[in-house]
Structure 1
């Protein structure tokens, strides 16, 4: 143990003592969240007033997610996951609308507040650098602005290649982790997901660069791509599905026009095997999200193919991907970032994927108009290819009449007559 590390070590109790009332603590995405520090904050939450924990995707339901103590410690989400969703719906948590790519600059400008940063980190290397190897995202920008930086050292956090390392001299303290890193298992894949995946895979050529999200449909898609050649990866989230695709030999990154030879990501969330794969791997490049998701930069990849899901889409192509009516469900995240990046990429394609129905086939996800209050994630002008299990609707460059007909054709057959009648009443189809 170096003398600098020994000097920086502190207990979780001492770390929480550094917080004051009214402060905002920024925490990284998903697996980057520090379990020991957030458990200790949860235990002592009644000692504080007006503390906010800001994070894009909370995965663990720590005890501070609590309606009774929301005035003490309150969660503010840039994107909702299962842990934060009840608070946002019931009023004891907050949602901040934003594009993922914009969060670092908003932190640097003070548009988003940050007083302290809590994150997991790797053990230090021989030069006393620790690595935020699971989430560079906006955390590096937050560290540049924060008065207090406490990192939770966990032996399972990889020392990764890219812009994600911090010297021990720059941190307030290091806490040794006593918790487990967040792991995410495989998603269930059924016939609907496989059918959607087959439609998408047919349109992805050899040499394409992929951005792909998390869920059953993305997992099904990567399984359909193992026979492809020289694929590349430039994505915000790196998960087990993409790792399997790399190990199949389909991904080489050799035909990428940006960061040739390297997989680019801004955060990782999957299994311990995935985290081990990232450790000192020169073929993996983890960068802050304003570099990964910026539509201009990402769009410099030729043949960029982005794949993202939606909850609902209307007949002119507006995608409601983050709410159920007016009730928040997730967030914008990087969907619009990568839709626009793929649209500007030479030879690129942007896919919005969704099952044709929900609630056991009782409602159509393709609707005449979005439900009242729905948060529009991808505007109609940006929507390119929409895919359900019944086929592909090509919307870019199409007029409203053509768009409505394309979308009705990939709706579930049980709802097509109803949708056609509604489209006629709306003067979309004539």
Structure 2
């Protein structure tokens, strides 16, 4: 928020701070609930932040009240409603139950509306609209799929205004001296929405719920108490924050990340997402920085015989470092900062400060939250949480300055499939079922085309399992493109990099076929040639003929100390990692194969895997069912 000019402005600011120190916050969530209904009556149109910033307990109280009283009309507008997957059988329950308790805590408040959504029990007087799903969790859920709103992230604030939302509830942080409030994990849409509502002069209630463990971050996220109509500081709000478990990175993902890391330019700009491909990219960038000789050796091995691509890749140590601007901040930026890579600073005109990182929202591991809470000095001052419109596009009063700041930008995102003409599907299946959402991906792809020397990089595995059968992720067509082919730029699979920007359709098809799995290459060639889009003379070059997962695994295993399964540690114990692999095998197995695991398990000594069996409470068996489970697991562990 801008400060008032002149000496009276300074006095006003001081008085506000002093008033807030003495301010009596409400002590219960019930007070906030009653305040909302007393002000808005029976028509509640509520927005709450995506991800971590949802005050689940207050949202649940409002939802339950509307659920009990059909005279209340409740609309909830949000995204990324976080929860952890319910165990589907007894083995999963034995495995996940103790982990959930340890990792998320027994006090984590699950969203009641999400539970009812899964059970198909949402009352008719309540309408839920999300613009981004937790990936894959709401497939085939008719209510969620029909109520989903497809939006670019930067257009969500306008949609909130158009839907006439009348209250926002948000989890916030309180400064140590109790003089300020931080929007912390979610200034992203809240700041943009407030600006639109002020311009339109529509009424909007702002409710802040203080969580004592939420990191207090400054920049644009820091606001006065007057930003809110009602603030709650209650002993009820002590639950664990939703922390994303650190994920494993397999061989194919490691190679994708390594290829991607070679596109990063020193003194450039970086945006990355979340998940295993992001971790693989960050791991490779740190290798490039800390063990450059080995990094170059691996690169030379990968690009053997491809001198034509050497001029397009970068292998040097990042001396000047990178500046980060990403809608989502996650663990990767923490690792890059610690590694001395994320250090290029830009001058932020809006905040009159130097920043090494701008983010719109954050979500990550427990270690990441601890790091954010412990930031000090330049590490703290250089990180700014801000509105999504400032991060995801260029349309700003300081646009010319922003363009200069975002030099040599590399915007990395993941997708599910790419057509051989370069269109990408990132959020929706062929049948229209939404997996996740557009989010900010389109924003960053479009921005890459508007910035000088920028690249939009889409990363994907070359294949997937569809109904237990291997299928290509490089396709002839896909019914729902997130990124149209005219915005094609760079695509990476475990088999290499395809540079597509400004190229002809024939060239685009060739390059994508050459990073496809060999099992599907000839079919793609035949289809493209039959459709008149690929020269009849084209033959797959020798360097692309052995695109096999076997070769990828062999290559990565030869450098296994650099490409670890959990490059940044794991929230699972060694026994749980072993069990996880085994349970995954059992989950995919058909009846005959399950029987095979059982028979094999009869010949495996339980003492060999006593720790794993103790973890599952199956070392000692009391029933025939327990014995069957024990031998199933031993059969899978002994594979």
- The TM-score with structure 2 as length reference comes to 0.62
Partner of residue 428 from structure 1, selected from 518, 527, 533: 533
Matched, 1:362 2:470: yes
Separation (CA, whole Å) in 2 of partners of 1:252 and 1:16:
44
Contact kept? 1:119, 1:152, Cα under 8 Å: yes
Rg larger in structure:
2
Question: 1:314-353 residue pairs with structure 2 within 5 A?
Answer: 314-325=419-430, 326-353=432-459
Does residue 1:289 correspond to 2:388, yes or no?
Answer: yes
Question: Are residues 389 and 251 of structure 1, via their aligned partners in 2, closer, same or farther at CA, if it must alter by over 3 Å?
Answer: same
The answer on whether the counterparts of 2:26 and 2:32 sit within 8 Å (CA) in structure 1 is no
Summarize the alignment of residues 3-402 of structure 1 with structure 2, pairs less than 5 Å apart.
Answer: 6-17=23-34, 18-19=36-37, 20-48=41-69, 49-60=72-83, 62-65=111-114, 66=116, 67-82=120-135, 85-86=138-139, 89-91=142-144, 94-107=147-160, 110-124=161-175, 126=177, 128-143=179-194, 145=197, 147-175=204-232, 176=234, 177-226=237-286, 227=289, 228-229=317-318, 230-254=321-345, 261-279=355-373, 281-296=380-395, 297=399, 299-300=403-404, 301-325=406-430, 326-359=432-465, 362-370=470-478, 372=479, 374=480, 376-402=481-507
Total equivalences in the alignment: 425
Query: Normalized per residue, which structure has more helix?
Result: 2
Residues 63/307 of structure 1: CA separation in 2 closer, same or farther (3 Å cut): same
Does the 8 Å contact 1:27/1:33 carry over to 2?
yes
Question: How many Å apart are 1:209 and its aligned residue?
Answer: 1.1
Q: Distance in 1 between matches of 2:220 and 2:346?
A: 23
Secondary structure in structure 2 of the residue aligned to 1:401:
helix
The 2-side partners of 1:427 and 1:260 are apart by 53
State the Cα distance separating 1:121 from its structure 2 match. 0.7
Deviations 1:44-80 (A, max 9, x none): 3413543122113221351112222242433211211
CA contact (8 A) 2:66 2:73 kept: no
**1:362 match: secondary structure:** strand
More strand by share: 1
The DSSP-based 3-state class of the residue aligned with 2:174 is coil
Alignment partners' CA distance in 2, 1:239 and 1:26: 23
8 Å contact 1:77–1:84 — kept in the other structure? Answer: no
- Structure 1's unaligned 5+ residue stretches are none
8 A Cα contact 1:263 1:284, kept in partner: yes
Deviation, structure 1 residue 380? 0.8
- Alignment partner of 1:152: what SS? strand
- Mapped to 2, the partners of 1:283 and 1:139 lie a distance apart of 22
TM-aligned CA deviation for residue 92 of structure 1: 7.3
Greater shift, 149-158 or 301-310, is seen at 149-158
Provide the rounded CA distance (Å) in 1 between the counterparts of 2:211 and 2:356: 26
| Cα offset, 1:91, TM superposition | 4.6
Segment drifting more, 128-137 vs 350-359: 128-137
Please state how far the C-alpha of 1:243 moved relative to its aligned partner: 0.5
Unaligned runs of 5+ in 2: 1-16, 84-109, 198-202, 290-316, 536-639
Instruction: Give the superposition deviation at 1:212.
Output: 0.4
TM-score (norm 1): 0.91
Instruction: Write the distance in 2 (CA, Å) between the matches of 1:32 and 1:257.
Output: 25
Distance 2:280 2:342 in 1: 16
Distance change in 2, residues 1:295/1:337 (3 Å): farther
How far residue 285 of structure 1 moved from its aligned partner, in angstroms, is 0.8
Query: Which among 516, 519, 522 is matched to residue 411 of structure 1?
Result: 516
Distance 1:386 1:70, change over 3 A: farther
How far is 1:38 from its partner?
Answer: 2.4
TM-fit CA distance, 1:141: 3.2
Of 58-67 and 310-319, the range deviating more from structure 2: 58-67
Shift of 1:316: 1.0
RMSD, matched Cα: 2.6
Deviation at residue 342 of structure 1 after TM alignment: 2.0
What whole-Å deviation, never above 9, does each CA across 1:86-135 have from its counterpart, x for those lacking one? 5854457621111112223444xx22432111111112454732111111
SS at match of 1:336: helix
Of residues 289-298 and 411-420 in structure 1, the stretch that sits farther from structure 2 once superposed is 289-298
